[in-house]
Structure 1
Protein backbone atom coordinates (compact mmCIF):
# COMPACT_ATOMS: atom_id res chain seq x y z
CA UNK A 1 0.00 0.00 0.00
CA UNK A 2 1.22 3.49 -0.89
CA UNK A 3 0.33 6.21 1.60
CA UNK A 4 -0.50 9.49 -0.12
CA UNK A 5 -3.12 11.23 2.02
CA UNK A 6 -2.75 11.71 5.78
CA UNK A 7 -5.61 12.62 8.13
CA UNK A 8 -4.59 13.98 11.54
CA UNK A 9 -7.23 13.98 14.27
CA UNK A 10 -6.55 16.61 16.93
CA UNK A 11 -4.95 20.00 16.28
CA UNK A 12 -3.04 20.20 19.53
CA UNK A 13 0.69 20.28 20.18
CA UNK A 14 1.62 16.93 18.68
CA UNK A 15 -1.11 16.70 16.04
CA UNK A 16 0.03 20.03 14.60
CA UNK A 17 3.60 18.79 14.37
CA UNK A 18 2.64 15.50 12.71
CA UNK A 19 0.50 17.36 10.18
CA UNK A 20 3.24 19.90 9.43
CA UNK A 21 5.96 17.29 8.98
CA UNK A 22 3.64 15.25 6.78
CA UNK A 23 2.98 18.15 4.42
CA UNK A 24 6.68 19.11 4.37
CA UNK A 25 7.38 15.49 3.40
CA UNK A 26 5.09 15.73 0.39
CA UNK A 27 1.87 14.19 1.66
CA UNK A 28 -1.62 15.57 1.15
CA UNK A 29 -2.79 16.45 4.64
CA UNK A 30 -6.03 17.22 6.44
CA UNK A 31 -6.20 18.09 10.12
CA UNK A 32 -9.43 17.81 12.10
CA UNK A 33 -10.51 19.25 15.40
CA UNK A 34 -13.95 19.69 16.93
CA UNK A 35 -12.94 23.20 18.05
CA UNK A 36 -12.44 25.81 15.27
CA UNK A 37 -10.21 27.87 17.57
CA UNK A 38 -7.86 24.90 17.96
CA UNK A 39 -7.48 24.82 14.18
CA UNK A 40 -6.60 28.53 14.10
CA UNK A 41 -4.14 28.06 16.96
CA UNK A 42 -2.61 25.15 15.07
CA UNK A 43 -1.78 27.41 12.13
CA UNK A 44 -0.04 29.83 14.49
CA UNK A 45 1.99 27.00 16.03
CA UNK A 46 2.99 25.73 12.60
CA UNK A 47 4.18 29.16 11.47
CA UNK A 48 6.32 29.47 14.60
CA UNK A 49 7.86 26.06 13.90
CA UNK A 50 8.64 27.08 10.32
CA UNK A 51 10.44 30.19 11.56
CA UNK A 52 12.45 28.06 13.99
CA UNK A 53 13.31 25.56 11.27
CA UNK A 54 14.35 28.30 8.88
CA UNK A 55 16.94 29.44 11.42
CA UNK A 56 18.09 25.97 12.45
CA UNK A 57 17.99 23.96 9.23
CA UNK A 58 17.93 26.43 6.37
CA UNK A 59 14.36 25.65 5.36
CA UNK A 60 13.05 28.57 3.32
CA UNK A 61 10.28 30.15 5.38
CA UNK A 62 8.13 31.00 2.36
CA UNK A 63 8.22 27.37 1.22
CA UNK A 64 7.21 26.35 4.74
CA UNK A 65 4.34 28.82 4.85
CA UNK A 66 3.16 27.57 1.44
CA UNK A 67 3.17 24.04 2.82
CA UNK A 68 0.91 25.14 5.68
CA UNK A 69 -1.48 26.72 3.18
CA UNK A 70 -1.75 23.36 1.40
CA UNK A 71 -3.15 21.68 4.54
CA UNK A 72 -6.93 21.36 4.85
CA UNK A 73 -8.02 22.50 8.33
CA UNK A 74 -11.54 21.32 9.09
CA UNK A 75 -14.09 20.62 11.82
CA UNK A 76 -16.06 18.39 9.45
CA UNK A 77 -15.24 14.69 10.05
CA UNK A 78 -16.27 13.65 6.55
CA UNK A 79 -14.06 16.25 4.91
CA UNK A 80 -11.16 15.27 7.16
CA UNK A 81 -11.19 11.57 6.33
CA UNK A 82 -12.21 11.69 2.67
CA UNK A 83 -9.88 9.38 0.68
CA UNK A 84 -7.46 9.13 3.64
CA UNK A 85 -4.85 6.37 3.47
CA UNK A 86 -3.92 6.74 7.13
CA UNK A 87 -5.36 8.38 10.23
CA UNK A 88 -3.03 9.68 12.94
CA UNK A 89 -5.14 10.33 16.05
CA UNK A 90 -3.77 12.82 18.58
CA UNK A 91 -6.83 13.77 20.62
CA UNK A 92 -7.03 14.21 24.38
CA UNK A 93 -5.42 11.42 26.45
CA UNK A 94 -8.82 10.32 27.71
CA UNK A 95 -10.35 6.89 27.08
CA UNK A 96 -13.89 8.20 26.71
CA UNK A 97 -12.89 10.87 24.18
CA UNK A 98 -10.77 8.47 22.15
CA UNK A 99 -13.58 5.90 22.11
CA UNK A 100 -15.98 8.51 20.74
CA UNK A 101 -13.50 9.53 18.06
CA UNK A 102 -12.76 5.99 16.91
CA UNK A 103 -16.40 4.96 16.93
CA UNK A 104 -17.16 7.89 14.61
CA UNK A 105 -14.20 7.57 12.26
CA UNK A 106 -14.47 3.80 12.16
CA UNK A 107 -17.87 4.27 10.55
CA UNK A 108 -16.98 6.98 8.02
CA UNK A 109 -13.37 6.28 7.01
CA UNK A 110 -12.68 4.62 3.63
CA UNK A 111 -12.16 0.87 3.73
CA UNK A 112 -8.47 1.27 2.82
CA UNK A 113 -7.64 3.57 5.75
CA UNK A 114 -5.04 2.50 8.29
CA UNK A 115 -5.96 3.55 11.83
CA UNK A 116 -3.20 4.74 14.16
CA UNK A 117 -3.31 6.28 17.61
CA UNK A 118 -0.66 8.66 18.90
CA UNK A 119 -1.53 7.96 22.54
CA UNK A 120 1.35 8.49 24.97
CA UNK A 121 0.36 5.95 27.60
CA UNK A 122 -2.80 4.05 26.66
CA UNK A 123 -2.84 0.78 24.70
CA UNK A 124 -4.10 0.26 21.12
CA UNK A 125 -6.16 -2.76 22.19
CA UNK A 126 -8.30 -0.36 24.24
CA UNK A 127 -9.65 1.22 21.03
CA UNK A 128 -9.12 -1.35 18.28
CA UNK A 129 -12.47 -3.10 18.68
CA UNK A 130 -14.59 0.05 18.86
CA UNK A 131 -12.98 1.28 15.63
CA UNK A 132 -14.60 -1.66 13.86
CA UNK A 133 -11.32 -2.56 12.14
CA UNK A 134 -9.01 -4.09 14.76
CA UNK A 135 -6.76 -5.64 12.10
CA UNK A 136 -5.99 -2.16 10.70
CA UNK A 137 -5.40 -0.57 14.10
CA UNK A 138 -1.96 0.16 15.58
CA UNK A 139 -0.20 2.68 17.78
CA UNK A 140 2.05 5.09 15.89
CA UNK A 141 3.46 7.35 18.55
CA UNK A 142 5.54 10.41 17.69
CA UNK A 143 7.63 12.36 20.17
CA UNK A 144 8.49 15.96 19.26
CA UNK A 145 8.72 15.16 15.50
CA UNK A 146 11.23 17.90 14.71
CA UNK A 147 13.76 17.56 17.53
CA UNK A 148 13.09 14.15 19.07
CA UNK A 149 12.76 12.05 15.93
CA UNK A 150 11.57 8.69 17.20
CA UNK A 151 8.28 7.07 16.24
CA UNK A 152 7.00 4.07 18.20
CA UNK A 153 5.13 1.36 16.31
CA UNK A 154 3.18 -0.78 18.77
CA UNK A 155 0.67 -3.34 17.44
CA UNK A 156 -1.97 -5.05 19.56
CA UNK A 157 -2.48 -8.82 19.29
CA UNK A 158 -5.04 -8.40 16.47
CA UNK A 159 -3.01 -6.01 14.29
CA UNK A 160 -2.33 -7.31 10.77
CA UNK A 161 1.49 -7.89 10.73
CA UNK A 162 1.67 -6.57 7.17
CA UNK A 163 0.96 -3.05 8.52
CA UNK A 164 4.26 -2.89 10.39
CA UNK A 165 6.62 -2.44 7.39
CA UNK A 166 4.17 0.07 5.87
CA UNK A 167 4.27 2.12 9.07
CA UNK A 168 8.06 1.81 9.28
CA UNK A 169 8.40 3.20 5.75
CA UNK A 170 5.92 5.97 6.55
CA UNK A 171 7.88 6.90 9.66
CA UNK A 172 11.14 7.06 7.76
CA UNK A 173 9.54 9.23 5.08
CA UNK A 174 8.77 11.75 7.86
CA UNK A 175 12.46 11.71 8.86
CA UNK A 176 11.72 9.71 12.00
CA UNK A 177 13.46 6.64 13.41
CA UNK A 178 10.92 3.76 13.59
CA UNK A 179 11.03 1.76 16.84
CA UNK A 180 8.94 -1.42 16.76
CA UNK A 181 7.56 -2.57 20.12
CA UNK A 182 7.22 -6.36 20.39
CA UNK A 183 4.16 -6.31 22.64
CA UNK A 184 1.80 -3.80 24.19
CA UNK A 185 3.26 -1.80 27.03
CA UNK A 186 2.02 1.37 28.71
CA UNK A 187 4.38 4.15 27.62
CA UNK A 188 6.13 2.12 24.91
CA UNK A 189 9.89 2.12 25.69
CA UNK A 190 11.08 5.71 26.13
CA UNK A 191 7.85 7.01 27.69
CA UNK A 192 7.86 4.11 30.15
CA UNK A 193 11.33 5.18 31.27
CA UNK A 194 10.44 8.89 31.22
CA UNK A 195 7.16 8.21 33.01
CA UNK A 196 9.01 6.66 35.92
CA UNK A 197 11.21 9.74 36.20
CA UNK A 198 8.30 12.19 36.01
CA UNK A 199 6.26 10.12 38.46
CA UNK A 200 9.13 10.09 40.95
CA UNK A 201 9.61 13.83 40.57
CA UNK A 202 5.88 14.41 41.08
CA UNK A 203 5.79 12.33 44.25
CA UNK A 204 8.82 14.16 45.66
CA UNK A 205 7.01 17.45 45.07
CA UNK A 206 3.66 16.23 46.44
CA UNK A 207 5.35 14.86 49.57
CA UNK A 208 7.11 18.16 50.22
CA UNK A 209 10.60 16.67 49.87
CA UNK A 210 11.76 19.42 47.52
CA UNK A 211 10.48 22.30 45.41
CA UNK A 212 10.01 21.73 41.69
CA UNK A 213 12.99 24.00 41.02
CA UNK A 214 15.23 22.04 43.41
CA UNK A 215 14.17 18.74 41.86
CA UNK A 216 14.90 20.09 38.38
CA UNK A 217 18.29 21.44 39.48
CA UNK A 218 19.27 18.09 40.94
CA UNK A 219 18.30 16.30 37.72
CA UNK A 220 19.91 18.83 35.40
CA UNK A 221 23.24 19.14 37.17
CA UNK A 222 23.70 15.37 37.58
CA UNK A 223 22.61 14.35 34.07
CA UNK A 224 24.22 17.43 32.48
CA UNK A 225 21.06 18.31 30.58
CA UNK A 226 19.33 21.66 30.00
CA UNK A 227 15.86 20.71 31.26
CA UNK A 228 14.52 18.91 34.33
CA UNK A 229 11.38 16.82 34.95
CA UNK A 230 9.08 19.78 35.54
CA UNK A 231 10.34 21.63 32.47
CA UNK A 232 9.68 18.43 30.53
CA UNK A 233 6.13 18.29 31.92
CA UNK A 234 5.52 21.86 30.79
CA UNK A 235 6.70 20.91 27.31
CA UNK A 236 4.51 17.81 27.14
CA UNK A 237 1.51 19.75 28.45
CA UNK A 238 0.17 19.72 32.00
CA UNK A 239 -3.18 18.41 30.73
CA UNK A 240 -1.52 15.34 29.18
CA UNK A 241 0.60 14.74 32.29
CA UNK A 242 -2.52 15.02 34.45
CA UNK A 243 -4.44 12.44 32.39
CA UNK A 244 -1.51 10.02 32.56
CA UNK A 245 -1.07 10.60 36.30
CA UNK A 246 -4.79 10.02 36.91
CA UNK A 247 -4.38 6.54 35.38
CA UNK A 248 -1.34 5.79 37.54
CA UNK A 249 -2.27 3.45 40.38
CA UNK A 250 1.00 3.90 42.27
CA UNK A 251 0.95 5.29 45.78
CA UNK A 252 1.27 9.07 45.79
CA UNK A 253 0.08 9.56 42.22
CA UNK A 254 -3.28 10.98 43.31
CA UNK A 255 -1.60 13.67 45.39
CA UNK A 256 0.46 14.81 42.44
CA UNK A 257 -2.58 14.61 40.15
CA UNK A 258 -4.35 17.02 42.52
CA UNK A 259 -1.50 19.52 42.11
CA UNK A 260 -1.71 19.24 38.33
CA UNK A 261 -5.50 19.68 38.41
CA UNK A 262 -5.18 22.90 40.42
CA UNK A 263 -2.67 24.18 37.86
CA UNK A 264 -5.06 23.44 35.01
CA UNK A 265 -7.91 25.17 36.84
CA UNK A 266 -5.64 28.23 37.02
CA UNK A 267 -4.96 28.08 33.27
CA UNK A 268 -1.43 26.72 33.69
CA UNK A 269 -1.19 24.17 30.88
CA UNK A 270 2.55 24.50 30.29
CA UNK A 271 4.43 25.96 27.33
CA UNK A 272 1.32 26.14 25.14
CA UNK A 273 -0.47 28.45 27.60
CA UNK A 274 2.61 30.47 28.53
CA UNK A 275 2.65 29.23 32.11
CA UNK A 276 3.03 25.91 33.89
CA UNK A 277 5.59 25.21 36.56
CA UNK A 278 7.61 27.90 34.80
CA UNK A 279 6.66 30.99 32.78
CA UNK A 280 7.29 31.06 29.02
CA UNK A 281 8.83 31.95 26.59
CA UNK A 282 11.71 32.62 29.02
CA UNK A 283 11.55 29.93 31.71
CA UNK A 284 13.78 30.35 34.72
CA UNK A 285 15.66 27.10 34.10
CA UNK A 286 17.16 28.65 30.95
CA UNK A 287 18.79 31.46 32.90
CA UNK A 288 22.57 31.18 33.00
CA UNK A 289 22.53 31.42 36.82
CA UNK A 290 19.85 28.73 37.40
CA UNK A 291 22.43 26.10 38.34
CA UNK A 292 24.68 28.42 40.33
Structure 2
Protein backbone atom coordinates (compact mmCIF):
# COMPACT_ATOMS: atom_id res chain seq x y z
CA UNK A 1 0.00 0.00 0.00
CA UNK A 2 1.57 3.24 -1.18
CA UNK A 3 0.96 6.27 1.04
CA UNK A 4 0.64 9.96 0.22
CA UNK A 5 1.24 12.80 2.66
CA UNK A 6 -2.51 13.23 3.21
CA UNK A 7 -2.74 9.58 4.28
CA UNK A 8 -0.59 10.25 7.34
CA UNK A 9 -2.78 11.23 10.27
CA UNK A 10 -1.66 9.12 13.22
CA UNK A 11 2.00 9.13 14.21
CA UNK A 12 3.68 6.73 16.63
CA UNK A 13 6.94 7.64 18.35
CA UNK A 14 8.90 4.82 19.99
CA UNK A 15 11.08 6.17 22.79
CA UNK A 16 10.44 9.28 24.90
CA UNK A 17 14.08 10.31 25.24
CA UNK A 18 15.82 13.48 24.12
CA UNK A 19 14.97 13.16 20.42
CA UNK A 20 11.79 11.09 20.61
CA UNK A 21 9.98 13.66 22.73
CA UNK A 22 11.05 16.45 20.37
CA UNK A 23 10.05 14.62 17.19
CA UNK A 24 6.72 13.77 18.81
CA UNK A 25 6.10 17.36 19.84
CA UNK A 26 6.87 18.67 16.35
CA UNK A 27 4.54 16.09 14.82
CA UNK A 28 1.76 17.33 17.11
CA UNK A 29 2.55 20.97 16.29
CA UNK A 30 2.36 20.08 12.59
CA UNK A 31 -1.15 18.73 13.04
CA UNK A 32 -0.65 14.98 13.47
CA UNK A 33 -2.34 12.92 16.18
CA UNK A 34 0.75 11.67 17.96
CA UNK A 35 1.30 8.81 20.40
CA UNK A 36 4.58 8.61 22.31
CA UNK A 37 5.41 5.15 23.63
CA UNK A 38 8.03 4.22 26.20
CA UNK A 39 8.46 1.29 28.59
CA UNK A 40 9.11 3.78 31.42
CA UNK A 41 6.41 5.92 33.05
CA UNK A 42 9.20 8.11 34.43
CA UNK A 43 10.53 8.76 30.92
CA UNK A 44 7.04 9.76 29.78
CA UNK A 45 6.63 12.12 32.74
CA UNK A 46 10.00 13.71 31.97
CA UNK A 47 9.01 14.05 28.30
CA UNK A 48 5.81 15.89 29.21
CA UNK A 49 7.73 18.36 31.39
CA UNK A 50 10.42 18.90 28.75
CA UNK A 51 7.83 19.46 26.03
CA UNK A 52 6.12 22.06 28.22
CA UNK A 53 9.43 23.94 28.48
CA UNK A 54 9.97 23.75 24.72
CA UNK A 55 6.48 25.09 24.05
CA UNK A 56 7.13 28.04 26.38
CA UNK A 57 10.33 28.75 24.47
CA UNK A 58 8.52 28.61 21.13
CA UNK A 59 5.84 30.99 22.41
CA UNK A 60 8.48 33.34 23.82
CA UNK A 61 10.27 33.36 20.46
CA UNK A 62 6.96 33.95 18.64
CA UNK A 63 7.15 30.67 16.75
CA UNK A 64 3.78 29.60 18.23
CA UNK A 65 0.83 31.27 19.88
CA UNK A 66 -0.46 30.03 23.22
CA UNK A 67 -3.56 28.71 21.44
CA UNK A 68 -1.43 26.73 18.96
CA UNK A 69 0.62 25.28 21.83
CA UNK A 70 -2.55 24.10 23.58
CA UNK A 71 -3.81 22.54 20.37
CA UNK A 72 -0.52 20.67 19.96
CA UNK A 73 -0.71 19.34 23.53
CA UNK A 74 -4.22 18.13 22.77
CA UNK A 75 -2.89 15.97 19.93
CA UNK A 76 -0.39 14.16 22.17
CA UNK A 77 -0.98 10.81 23.88
CA UNK A 78 1.53 9.03 26.13
CA UNK A 79 1.45 5.32 26.85
CA UNK A 80 3.39 2.28 28.06
CA UNK A 81 0.92 -0.05 26.32
CA UNK A 82 2.45 -1.31 23.02
CA UNK A 83 -0.83 -2.60 21.57
CA UNK A 84 -2.60 0.72 22.18
CA UNK A 85 0.38 2.61 20.80
CA UNK A 86 0.47 0.65 17.53
CA UNK A 87 -3.27 0.77 16.91
CA UNK A 88 -4.06 2.38 13.52
CA UNK A 89 -0.61 4.03 13.20
CA UNK A 90 0.11 5.50 9.77
CA UNK A 91 3.70 6.48 10.45
CA UNK A 92 6.24 5.21 13.00
CA UNK A 93 9.42 6.97 14.11
CA UNK A 94 11.72 4.93 16.37
CA UNK A 95 14.16 6.64 18.77
CA UNK A 96 15.13 3.94 21.26
CA UNK A 97 18.65 3.52 22.68
CA UNK A 98 21.44 3.30 20.09
CA UNK A 99 21.93 -0.45 20.41
CA UNK A 100 21.46 -2.75 17.42
CA UNK A 101 20.20 -5.77 19.35
CA UNK A 102 17.67 -3.68 21.28
CA UNK A 103 16.43 -1.91 18.17
CA UNK A 104 15.92 -5.20 16.35
CA UNK A 105 13.89 -6.55 19.28
CA UNK A 106 11.73 -3.42 19.33
CA UNK A 107 11.17 -3.60 15.57
CA UNK A 108 10.23 -7.27 15.69
CA UNK A 109 7.63 -6.42 18.32
CA UNK A 110 6.11 -3.40 16.60
CA UNK A 111 6.40 -4.88 13.13
CA UNK A 112 3.96 -7.53 14.34
CA UNK A 113 1.68 -5.04 16.12
CA UNK A 114 1.36 -2.27 13.52
CA UNK A 115 -1.19 -2.39 10.67
CA UNK A 116 -0.04 -3.19 7.15
CA UNK A 117 -0.28 0.47 6.09
CA UNK A 118 2.29 1.75 8.61
CA UNK A 119 5.41 3.40 7.22
CA UNK A 120 8.44 2.46 9.35
CA UNK A 121 11.32 4.86 10.06
CA UNK A 122 14.28 4.78 12.42
CA UNK A 123 15.86 7.86 13.95
CA UNK A 124 19.13 6.04 14.67
CA UNK A 125 22.18 8.29 14.72
CA UNK A 126 24.69 5.85 13.23
CA UNK A 127 23.18 2.44 12.47
CA UNK A 128 22.20 1.53 8.92
CA UNK A 129 18.66 0.67 7.88
CA UNK A 130 19.93 -2.52 6.27
CA UNK A 131 21.02 -3.70 9.74
CA UNK A 132 17.50 -3.31 11.14
CA UNK A 133 14.88 -3.40 8.37
CA UNK A 134 14.35 -7.15 8.14
CA UNK A 135 13.50 -7.32 11.86
CA UNK A 136 10.35 -5.29 11.13
CA UNK A 137 9.03 -7.97 8.78
CA UNK A 138 8.43 -5.28 6.15
CA UNK A 139 11.86 -4.07 4.99
CA UNK A 140 10.41 -2.48 1.84
CA UNK A 141 8.46 -0.02 4.05
CA UNK A 142 11.51 0.82 6.20
CA UNK A 143 13.76 3.88 5.90
CA UNK A 144 16.13 5.96 8.04
CA UNK A 145 14.54 9.33 8.85
CA UNK A 146 17.02 11.02 11.16
CA UNK A 147 16.43 14.23 13.09
CA UNK A 148 19.16 16.29 14.75
CA UNK A 149 17.65 18.58 17.38
CA UNK A 150 14.29 19.38 15.71
CA UNK A 151 13.84 22.91 17.12
CA UNK A 152 17.37 24.32 16.81
CA UNK A 153 19.20 22.15 14.30
CA UNK A 154 16.21 21.60 12.03
CA UNK A 155 17.65 19.16 9.49
CA UNK A 156 16.27 15.69 8.80
CA UNK A 157 18.17 13.01 6.87
CA UNK A 158 16.31 10.70 4.49
CA UNK A 159 18.43 7.59 3.90
CA UNK A 160 16.85 4.54 2.23
CA UNK A 161 18.48 1.11 2.25
CA UNK A 162 18.71 -0.98 -0.92
CA UNK A 163 15.30 -2.56 -0.35
CA UNK A 164 13.32 0.60 0.50
CA UNK A 165 10.38 1.18 -1.87
CA UNK A 166 11.25 4.14 -4.11
CA UNK A 167 8.03 6.08 -3.38
CA UNK A 168 9.03 6.42 0.28
CA UNK A 169 11.92 8.78 -0.54
CA UNK A 170 9.71 11.52 -1.99
CA UNK A 171 7.11 11.08 0.74
CA UNK A 172 9.68 11.52 3.52
CA UNK A 173 11.23 14.56 1.83
CA UNK A 174 7.75 16.10 1.76
CA UNK A 175 7.02 15.07 5.33
CA UNK A 176 10.30 16.62 6.48
CA UNK A 177 9.18 20.00 5.20
CA UNK A 178 5.80 19.65 6.88
CA UNK A 179 7.65 19.02 10.15
CA UNK A 180 9.51 22.35 9.76
CA UNK A 181 12.79 20.61 8.87
CA UNK A 182 15.26 20.96 6.01
CA UNK A 183 15.25 17.49 4.41
CA UNK A 184 18.58 16.14 3.14
CA UNK A 185 18.66 13.08 0.89
CA UNK A 186 21.52 10.65 1.53
CA UNK A 187 22.08 8.92 -1.80
CA UNK A 188 23.42 5.67 -0.36
CA UNK A 189 23.76 4.19 3.11
CA UNK A 190 26.49 5.80 5.17
CA UNK A 191 27.17 5.44 8.88
CA UNK A 192 26.43 8.85 10.38
CA UNK A 193 24.57 10.16 7.32
CA UNK A 194 26.29 13.41 6.26
CA UNK A 195 26.50 15.75 9.26
CA UNK A 196 27.12 13.09 11.93
CA UNK A 197 29.87 11.61 9.76
CA UNK A 198 31.62 14.98 9.89
CA UNK A 199 30.74 15.52 13.56
CA UNK A 200 32.27 12.22 14.72
CA UNK A 201 35.55 13.20 13.06
CA UNK A 202 35.57 16.30 15.29
CA UNK A 203 34.49 14.50 18.47
CA UNK A 204 36.91 11.64 17.86
CA UNK A 205 39.80 14.10 17.45
CA UNK A 206 38.79 15.87 20.66
CA UNK A 207 38.62 12.53 22.47
CA UNK A 208 42.13 11.64 21.31
CA UNK A 209 43.51 15.01 22.39
CA UNK A 210 42.19 14.33 25.90
CA UNK A 211 43.09 10.63 26.21
CA UNK A 212 46.59 11.33 24.90
CA UNK A 213 46.82 14.07 27.56
CA UNK A 214 47.56 16.76 24.98
CA UNK A 215 44.94 19.20 26.27
CA UNK A 216 42.37 19.55 29.04
CA UNK A 217 38.65 19.27 28.33
CA UNK A 218 38.20 23.00 28.83
CA UNK A 219 41.19 23.99 26.69
CA UNK A 220 40.13 21.70 23.85
CA UNK A 221 36.70 23.36 23.93
CA UNK A 222 38.24 26.84 24.22
CA UNK A 223 40.35 26.22 21.14
CA UNK A 224 37.33 25.23 19.06
CA UNK A 225 35.06 27.96 20.42
CA UNK A 226 37.63 30.72 20.14
CA UNK A 227 38.70 29.93 16.60
CA UNK A 228 35.25 29.30 15.12
CA UNK A 229 33.27 31.64 17.42
CA UNK A 230 31.03 28.75 18.46
CA UNK A 231 28.76 28.64 21.51
CA UNK A 232 30.21 25.30 22.67
CA UNK A 233 33.13 23.01 21.95
CA UNK A 234 33.39 19.26 21.31
CA UNK A 235 32.88 18.22 24.94
CA UNK A 236 29.91 20.55 25.34
CA UNK A 237 28.49 18.97 22.18
CA UNK A 238 29.05 15.49 23.64
CA UNK A 239 27.13 16.48 26.76
CA UNK A 240 24.25 17.58 24.54
CA UNK A 241 24.29 14.40 22.45
CA UNK A 242 24.48 12.24 25.57
CA UNK A 243 27.61 10.41 26.72
CA UNK A 244 25.77 7.08 26.60
CA UNK A 245 24.89 7.61 22.94
CA UNK A 246 28.47 8.65 22.17
CA UNK A 247 29.78 5.57 24.00
CA UNK A 248 27.57 3.16 22.01
CA UNK A 249 29.01 4.61 18.81
CA UNK A 250 32.63 4.92 19.91
CA UNK A 251 32.87 1.55 21.63
CA UNK A 252 31.88 -0.20 18.40
CA UNK A 253 34.99 1.12 16.63
CA UNK A 254 37.98 -1.29 16.80
CA UNK A 255 40.88 1.19 16.63
CA UNK A 256 42.90 2.00 19.75
CA UNK A 257 42.07 5.73 19.79
CA UNK A 258 38.33 5.05 19.69
CA UNK A 259 38.61 2.41 22.40
CA UNK A 260 40.56 4.79 24.64
CA UNK A 261 37.91 7.47 24.12
CA UNK A 262 35.16 4.92 24.81
CA UNK A 263 36.85 4.06 28.11
CA UNK A 264 36.86 7.75 29.08
CA UNK A 265 33.17 8.04 28.25
CA UNK A 266 32.39 4.86 30.19
CA UNK A 267 33.98 6.29 33.34
CA UNK A 268 31.48 9.16 33.25
CA UNK A 269 28.56 6.87 32.42
CA UNK A 270 29.38 4.56 35.35
CA UNK A 271 29.26 7.62 37.62
CA UNK A 272 25.76 8.47 36.31
CA UNK A 273 27.04 11.46 34.35
CA UNK A 274 25.39 11.27 30.94
CA UNK A 275 25.46 14.95 30.05
CA UNK A 276 22.73 17.57 29.93
CA UNK A 277 19.92 15.06 30.51
CA UNK A 278 21.30 14.06 33.94
CA UNK A 279 22.56 17.51 34.90
CA UNK A 280 26.23 16.56 34.65
CA UNK A 281 28.67 15.18 32.13
CA UNK A 282 31.94 16.82 31.22
CA UNK A 283 30.28 19.98 32.57
CA UNK A 284 27.59 20.69 35.18
CA UNK A 285 24.17 21.96 34.06
CA UNK A 286 22.12 24.13 33.70
CA UNK A 287 25.05 26.57 34.01
CA UNK A 288 28.09 24.93 32.40
CA UNK A 289 31.48 26.51 32.75
CA UNK A 290 31.77 27.15 28.98
CA UNK A 291 28.87 29.61 29.19
CA UNK A 292 30.54 31.71 31.85
CA UNK A 293 31.92 35.12 30.95
CA UNK A 294 35.63 34.93 30.28
CA UNK A 295 35.70 31.22 29.41
CA UNK A 296 36.95 32.17 25.94
| TM-score of the two chains, using structure 1 as the length reference | 0.97
Alpha-carbon shift at residue 60 of structure 1 (Å): 2.8
CA RMSD after TM alignment: 1.1
Which consecutive unaligned segments of at least 5 residues does structure 2 have? none
Query: How many angstroms apart in 1 are the aligned matches of 2:270 and 2:67?
Result: 38
Query: What is the aligned partner in structure 1 of residue 142 from structure 2?
Result: 137
Matches within 5 A, 1:76-115: 76-115=81-120
Query: What is the aligned partner in structure 2 of residue 206 from structure 1?
Result: 211
Query: What is the aligned partner in structure 1 of residue 234 from structure 2?
Result: 229
Q: Contact 2:10–2:32 at 8 Å: present in 1 too?
A: yes
Inter-CA distance 212–65: structure 2 relative to 1 (3 Å threshold): farther
Query: How many angstroms apart in 1 are the aligned matches of 2:218 and 2:114?
Result: 47
What SS does the aligned partner of 2:256 have? coil
| TM-score of the two chains, using structure 2 as the length reference | 0.96
Which consecutive unaligned segments of at least 5 residues does structure 1 have? none
Mapped pair 1:177 → 2:197:
no
Query: What is the aligned partner in structure 2 of residue 5 from structure 1?
Result: 10
Matches within 5 A, 1:4-43: 4-43=9-48
What SS does the aligned partner of 2:260 have? helix
Query: How many angstroms apart in 1 are the aligned matches of 2:250 and 2:131?
Result: 18
Provide the aligned length of Structure 1 versus Structure 2: 291
Greater than 6 Å deviation, 4+ residue runs: none
Query: How many angstroms apart in 2 are the aligned matches of 1:42 and 1:69?
Result: 15
Q: Contact 2:38–2:80 at 8 Å: present in 1 too?
A: yes
Mapped pair 1:117 → 2:122:
yes
Alpha-carbon shift at residue 252 of structure 1 (Å): 1.1
Mapped pair 1:126 → 2:131:
yes
Alpha-carbon shift at residue 65 of structure 1 (Å): 4.3
Matches within 5 A, 1:39-50: 39-50=44-55
Q: Aligned to 1:280, which of 282, 285, 290?
A: 285
